[in-house]
A and B are shown apart, each in its own frame.
Chain A
Amino acid sequence: MERAFLRKLIALCVICGLASFALLGLVAFRDGKREWKDYQQEYQSLLLEKIDRVANPVFFQRVTSMKPEIKQVMLDGLGRVDRCTTCHLGIEDSLFTGAKQPLTTHPDPRLLESHPVEKFGCTICHGGKGLATTYDGATHQSNAHWPDPMVEKGFMQSRCGYCHNNYAAIEADELVLGQKLFKDLHCSGCHKVDPGDGVMAPVLTAFADKGTGSFDFTHIDGDHSRQNWVLEHFKNPQKVTPGSPMRIYAMNDTQLKALTTYVLSLTERVFTRDYYPNEKFVAEE
């Protein structure tokens, strides 16, 4: 009895040991398979179709011998490293306007001309995890557990306000409207944005620097994202923050969105000087 049981136990141990060793091997092999490698191969074959061997043999040869590699932009002045171009390979390439994600061209090439990827990277405007090389890792979707997930399309202008002060000069209509609303609704009577503003309510000078984790989503129905929190809060402050003395302001959806965009542009982040625009700040009288 005893001996038979021991034998079984030993057999079980040996089997488990071998199985875990086999699994270790499998994991090691599977680890080499990454989604960006597939995208780079797709890019290579697409690019080879689009370019002419005779016109530029040196470049054709380079593309033919392209190997999958992580591409990154080091941004010392912004304190970031962006690896987005590992998958978004055609982002600055006019030949890829018709390609599907992630190889497609940037929807607004004019913006990229004034903000070249090699100098600005991607995450300073779009948010998200620059170092990540997977779709989920880069937080393409809103994520309550990452301080700065990617900005939703409708709120992109909030990022322009990180560096730009003169919203009209860069045709940031949402920021222009949002700033006007902030003034017209006398928000600065209680919320401090500039020196001299009221300080009865939470100070908003660095509102955009608050991570997703510092918002209370208990009373939020939809997305657990900062922009959704702000939107819901403007619709009904008491519902989102019970006990808040802030009242409901009658605003339509456009105005709500504009004001949300504006408050989410209020930052105290500082970058090196060469990142700031040359346009002069014209104080509105």
Chain B
Amino acid sequence: MAFENSSGETDLSVETSGKPVAENRRGFVKKLAVTALALGAGGLTVQFGRFMTPNVLYEAAKVFKVGKLGDFPIGSRIVIEGRGVEIVRGKEGIHAISLVCTHLGCLVNPVKNDPEVGYACPCHGSRFAPTGKVLGGAAPTDLPWYEMYMDHMGTLVVDASTVNHKRTKLVV
């Protein structure tokens, strides 16, 4: 202990007397401190940013398979149970339309006996054209179309996280 203490004292004296050495050392320590602080602050920022955008949410996957093309004959309208979308296939192509009413989120019913009306909401009487355009009732906006694609195995996949604003049909 005594040896350590005495060496400490000599160190201090060197620091005060030998100016260039002290300046060098001080600069180095400063750099080290700034680096450590920057690293820590950067890490904190990164972690906080990641916290705000979680890796995954506790909800059903937004991208889901709906079946093979053969399951959807031309002229058919098939509701995908549990997903709130309807797959409509016409001569020009196929598209996925949301069945969630834009008013308060009830599931709308497909209407099949009226060429003007495609969907009707059982809750507050909103009506939508077959394209999803709102015709009347409480709903403020049209029913969105979702992006759809066919994967390399020929399975049709709906991506409900991306709205198809242009309402382009998937040509198959």
Interface set of A (CB-CB < 8 Å, partner B): 1, 4-5, 7-8, 14, 18-19, 21-22, 24-29, 31-32, 47, 50-51, 56, 58-59, 62, 69-74, 81, 83, 92-95, 118
For B28, the chain A residues whose CB sits under 8 A away are none
For B21, the chain A residues whose CB sits under 8 A away are none
B40 interface neighbour in A24, A50, A72, Cβ under 8 Å? A24
Per-position 1/0 for B47-75, Cβ under 8 A of A: 10010000110111100110000000000
| Bound Cα distance from A92 to B153, whole angstroms | 10
Minimum Cβ distance to chain A for residue B52 (Å): 14
With A21-B36, A28-B44, A28-B46 given, name 5 new contacts (CB 8 A).
Answer: A5-B8, A18-B37, A51-B152, A56-B152, A59-B152
User: Are the CB atoms of A4 and B43 closer together than 8 Å?
Assistant: no
Minimum Cβ distance to chain A for residue B70 (Å): 15
User: Are the CB atoms of A70 and B152 closer together than 8 Å?
Assistant: no
User: Are the CB atoms of B43 and A27 closer together than 8 Å?
Assistant: yes
Minimum Cβ distance to chain B for residue A119 (Å): 10
Main DSSP-derived SS at the A contact region: helix
Please name the residue on chain B nearest to A74 by beta carbon.
B60
User: Are the CB atoms of A94 and B153 closer together than 8 Å?
Assistant: yes
Please name the residue on chain A nearest to B54 by beta carbon.
A70
B116 at the interface (CB under 8 A from A): no
- Point out which of A72, A73, A83 has the most chain B C-beta atoms below 10 A from its C-beta: A72
B140 at the interface (CB under 8 A from A): no
Interface set of B (CB-CB < 8 Å, partner A): 5, 8-9, 12, 32-33, 35-44, 46-47, 50, 55-56, 58-61, 64-65, 149-153, 170
Please name the residue on chain A nearest to B59 by beta carbon.
A74
| Bound Cα distance from A193 to B86, whole angstroms | 46
Minimum Cβ distance to chain A for residue B85 (Å): 14
Known A18-B33, A58-B149, A94-B153; contact A25-B40, beta-carbon cutoff 8 A: yes
Minimum Cβ distance to chain A for residue B13 (Å): 10
For A8, the chain B residues whose CB sits under 8 A away are 8
User: Are the CB atoms of A18 and B149 closer together than 8 Å?
Assistant: no
User: Are the CB atoms of A21 and B39 closer together than 8 Å?
Assistant: yes
For B59, the chain A residues whose CB sits under 8 A away are 74
B39 interface neighbour in A26, A71, A94, Cβ under 8 Å? A26
Please name the residue on chain A nearest to B41 by beta carbon.
A25
Please name the residue on chain A nearest to B66 by beta carbon.
A118
User: Are the CB atoms of A29 and B153 closer together than 8 Å?
Assistant: no
User: Are the CB atoms of A28 and B47 closer together than 8 Å?
Assistant: yes
User: Are the CB atoms of B40 and A5 closer together than 8 Å?
Assistant: no
For B60, the chain A residues whose CB sits under 8 A away are 74
| Bound Cα distance from A263 to B60, whole angstroms | 34
The 8 A-B pairs of least Cβ separation, nearest first, read A28-B43, A25-B43, A25-B39, A21-B40, A70-B56, A22-B36, A18-B36, A25-B40
A118 interface neighbour in B32, B64, B150, B170, Cβ under 8 Å? B64
| Bound Cα distance from A1 to B56, whole angstroms | 58
Known A21-B36, A31-B47, A51-B152; contact A7-B12, beta-carbon cutoff 8 A: yes
B151 interface neighbour in A32, A59, A72, Cβ under 8 Å? A59
User: Are the CB atoms of A24 and B12 closer together than 8 Å?
Assistant: no
Please name the residue on chain B nearest to A3 by beta carbon.
B12
For A62, the chain B residues whose CB sits under 8 A away are 149
For A47, the chain B residues whose CB sits under 8 A away are 152
- Point out which of A4, A31, A50, A72 has the most chain B C-beta atoms below 10 A from its C-beta: A4
For A27, the chain B residues whose CB sits under 8 A away are 43
User: Are the CB atoms of A21 and B37 closer together than 8 Å?
Assistant: yes
Known A8-B8, A25-B39, A56-B150; contact A69-B46, beta-carbon cutoff 8 A: no
User: Are the CB atoms of B152 and A50 closer together than 8 Å?
Assistant: yes
User: Are the CB atoms of A24 and B43 closer together than 8 Å?
Assistant: yes
A59 interface neighbour in B12, B40, B150, Cβ under 8 Å? B150
Offer 11 A-B interface pairs, CB within 8 angstroms, sorted by A: A5-B5, A8-B8, A25-B36, A25-B39, A25-B41, A51-B152, A56-B152, A59-B149, A59-B151, A72-B61, A74-B58
User: Are the CB atoms of B56 and A72 closer together than 8 Å?
Assistant: yes
For A31, the chain B residues whose CB sits under 8 A away are 47, 50
User: Are the CB atoms of B39 and A4 closer together than 8 Å?
Assistant: no
User: Are the CB atoms of A73 and B149 closer together than 8 Å?
Assistant: no
